[in-house]
Amino acid sequence: MTVTVGETCTLECKVAGTPELSVEWYKDGKLLTSSQKHKFSFYNKISSLKILSVSKEDAGTYTFQVQNNVGKSSCTAVVDVSG
Task: Give the domain CATH number at 40.
Answer: 2.60.40.10
Q: How many domains does the chain have?
A: 1
Mean pLDDT of 17-24: 87
Confidence at residue 20, expressed as pLDDT on a 0 to 100 scale: 85
Helix, strand, coil tally for the chain in percent (to 5): 5, 60, 35
Phi, psi (degrees; rounded to nearest 5) at 44: 55, 45
Whether pLDDT at 18 is above 90: no
Average pLDDT value over all residues in the chain: 94
| Residue 50 belongs to domain spanning | 2-81
Percent of the chain with pLDDT over 90: 86
